[in-house]
Amino acid sequence: MLARAKNFPVFGETQTLRVADPEDVIGLKIQAMVNDADRKSQEMGDIERLMELYGTRLDWDRIEEFYDIFGLKAEAKRLRKRFGHVE
């Protein structure tokens, strides 16, 4: 994840921040909700918002891999069907 992070200019391009890809943020949120069921609602809201924003530009195979790690492949397929065509 960190190797894929990209530099993003801030403060009038005087500084940069390393920013994770949206797919990797989604992966971290999947892990967070699996580790703490009380966070599921918030994490799913964030995940769905990222999917709405990035739609077809997401690497859906990578997202499915993250879901599959936690035994949630069917959920990934449902989300891909719902958001994978959005631009």
Tell me the pLDDT tens digit for each residue of 29-71.
Answer: 999 999 999 999 999 999 999 999 999 999 999 999 999 999 9
Question: What gap in Å lies between CA 2 and CA 34, rounded to an integer?
Answer: 21
Look-up of token digits 């940069």? 16
Average pLDDT value for the chain: 95
pTM for the model: 0.89
Per cent of the chain over pLDDT 90 is 93
Rounded (10°) angle between helices 40-54 and 73-83: 40
Within the chain, what is the greatest distance between any pair of CA atoms? Answer: 44
Nearest Cα residue to 23 out of 49, 78, 62 = 62
pLDDT at 2: 83
| pLDDT(28) > 60 | yes
